[in-house]
Amino acid sequence: AEVDAVAKLASDFTADLELVTVEDGEETARSLQLWQKGESKRMLKITAPARLKGVGLLNDGEVFHVYLPAFGKVRRVAGRDRGQRFFDSVFSQDDLARTQYAARFTPSLLPSDDAETWTLRLDPEDPDDEPHHHLVVVVQRADHLLRRIDCYDEEGGKPVRTLKADDFRVVGVLPLAFVVTAEEPQSGVRSTATLSNVQVDVGLEDSFFSKRQLERSP
Query: pLDDT by residue (tens digit) across 42-66?
Result: 999 999 999 999 999 999 988 899 9
Q: What is the pTM of this model?
A: 0.90
What per-residue confidence (pLDDT) applies to 3? Answer: 62
128/77 Cα distance (integer angstroms):
13
Closest residue by Cα to residue 186 from 122, 121, 96, 90: 90
What per-residue confidence (pLDDT) applies to 7? Answer: 55
pLDDT band at 8 (very low <50, low <70, confident <90, very high): low
Instruction: Work out the mean pLDDT of the chain and round it to a whole number.
Output: 91
* Domains of the chain listed by start with CATH number: 2-215 (2.50.20.10)
Mean pLDDT score, 209-213 = 96
82/149 Cα distance (integer angstroms):
16
How many other CB atoms are there within 10 angstroms of residue 66's CB atom?
20
Percent of the residues in the chain that have a pLDDT greater than 90, as a whole number: 70
| Chain centroid, CA 35 distance in Å | 12
Taking only the tens place, the pLDDT of each residue in 99-114 is: 678 888 999 999 999 9
Half-sphere exposure of 174 (CA within 13 A, CB side): 23
50/47 Cα distance (integer angstroms):
7
| H/E run at residue 140 | strand 134-140
What per-residue confidence (pLDDT) applies to 23? Answer: 92
Top pLDDT among 108 and 131 is at: 108
165/60 Cα distance (integer angstroms):
24
Taking only the tens place, the pLDDT of each residue in 69-96 is: 989 989 998 777 777 888 889 998 888 8
